[in-house]
Structure 1
Amino acid sequence: MTGRRRWSTEEILDEAANLLRTNEDADSFSVRKLAAVLGTDSSSLYRHFRSKTELLRAVADRILASAMEGYEPEGDWKQRITAVASRVREAFGRQPQLAAVWGRYASGGTGSRLVMEETLQALRASGLPDAEIPRTYHRLAVLLSALIASEAGITTVGSEEHEQGLELFRVATLGADPELFPALAHFARDVRPLGADRDAAFAELLAAQLRQIEASLPS
């Protein structure tokens, strides 16, 4: 009798990423389901990854690694950080279902190290004292992961659900009672839903964070 095929680590990660993109989220994803897709048993996958969390971290790390492919530092420190942030955003934009995995399951693989190294190097190039760099890096990482995961959550919503959300937003704003919500009623026609102007919002929030860092630099 022919034995079951032995899957490589890269092949397992490919199929896990595909399963997460098309059918699953981090909560419903399981090693058992992945094994069924591969036509094998869970124990064979646990030879490569000790747990579901370790597997998910590896999947997210590959997205980060792909974001850094071909990257070369250019420009000043702000341009370098902006370029890295844009690359990570674009990479998860192509696979938005995996953005939540990255935000939830911190990665320590090669991709994560590449992103961290370049960001830390750029912060050092800014002239920021070494004592301030880890905290500043953490603030940047929290901002970017939150923005990217939020954007991914919006882009994965189906068209019908999206329209329902827009209608609820219109009701909440245009129908606001000015006695109870005077500011909301005043700005109702100009306030925009979360899904609007994502490119501009991302760029402006990142730029504001970088300006704050720049303002704290020693004179």
Structure 2
Amino acid sequence: MAGRRRWATEEILDAAAELLRTSDADTFSVRKLAAVLGTDSSSLYRHFRSKTELLRAVADRVLLAAVDGYRAEGDWKLRITALALRMRDAFGGQPQLAEVWGRYASSGTGSRLVMEEVLRALRDSGLPDEEIPLRYHRLAILIAALIASEAGAATVTPEEREQGMELFRVAVLGADPERFPSLAHFARDVRPLGVDRAAAFEEILAAQLTRIEAEAHAARPPA
């Protein structure tokens, strides 16, 4: 009798990414993945020691795709912005994986390439070395949160989106002006969270980079 097929690591990751397109990190399991591949869980644990390690590897491939073809061009702010937008687009094509990345992060080559470029750009900003790890950490949290939020919105069905918009209109436009005076005042101009997210992403990121630029300027010794 022929033995079970031996799956290569990349084939396992391909199957895991496809399974995550129709599920999420909570319902995903190594057992389900093994069933898709027609094998047993123990054969997959030869490649990955745990579910978390497998999920991190899947997310890391998205980061690798984001940095593929990236060129460090322009000043440090343009470089970080370009890289963040490439990451947003990469996870936008696989929105379920954005949740995985936001929760489990990554420690693979893709992650290290992103970290290297962001840290290098922050050094070019003029920040003192002792300030860079903290600024990097805050920037990483911001970018991960923005990407996960935007990707999460992309998984909403048209029916769910329309239902949410209707509930928003009822809640906001119908707000009691005595109990919610500010909300009633701005009701016609307040936008739902699902609207104009791309522009909001860039604006929020730009504000953070401007803050870092101001800190770098303040840290420079007087001429």
TM-score (norm 2): 0.96
What CA deviation, in whole Å up to 9, does each residue of 1:13-69 have, x standing for no partner?
A: 000000001x21000000000000000000100000011000000000010011001
Q: Which residue of the partner structure matches residue 20 of structure 1? A: 20
State how 1:64-213 maps to structure 2 within 5 Å: 64-213=63-212
C-alpha distance in 1 between matches for 2:181 and 2:140: 36
SS of equivalent residue, structure 2 residue 42:
helix
C-alpha distance in 1 between matches for 2:116 and 2:102: 18
SS of equivalent residue, structure 2 residue 7:
coil
C-alpha distance in 1 between matches for 2:158 and 2:42: 39
Opposite residue 150 of structure 1, the aligned amino acid is S
C-alpha distance in 2 between matches for 1:139 and 1:161: 32
Q: Which residue of the partner structure matches residue 50 of structure 1? A: 49
C-alpha distance in 1 between matches for 2:23 and 2:33: 10
C-alpha distance in 2 between matches for 1:50 and 1:87: 30
Q: Which residue of the partner structure matches residue 215 of structure 1? A: 214
Structure 1 portions without partners, runs of 5+: none
SS of equivalent residue, structure 2 residue 145:
helix
Structure 2 portions without partners, runs of 5+: none
Q: Which residue of the partner structure matches residue 3 of structure 1? A: 3
C-alpha distance in 1 between matches for 2:198 and 2:154: 13
Structure 1 position 89, deviation (Å):
0.4
C-alpha distance in 1 between matches for 2:157 and 2:12: 28
What CA deviation, in whole Å up to 9, does each residue of 1:162-205 have, x standing for no partner?
A: 11111111111001000110010000100011111111101100
What CA deviation, in whole Å up to 9, does each residue of 1:128-164 have, x standing for no partner?
A: 0000000000111011011110111111011111111
RMSD: 0.7
C-alpha distance in 2 between matches for 1:196 and 1:31: 36
Structure 1 residue runs of 4 or more that deviate by more than 3 Å after TM superposition: none
C-alpha distance in 2 between matches for 1:44 and 1:162: 41
C-alpha distance in 1 between matches for 2:114 and 2:44: 28
SS of equivalent residue, structure 1 residue 84:
helix
Structure 1 position 70, deviation (Å):
1.4
Opposite residue 44 of structure 2, the aligned amino acid is L
Percent sequence identity is 77
C-alpha distance in 1 between matches for 2:205 and 2:100: 22
SS of equivalent residue, structure 1 residue 216:
helix
C-alpha distance in 1 between matches for 2:81 and 2:18: 29
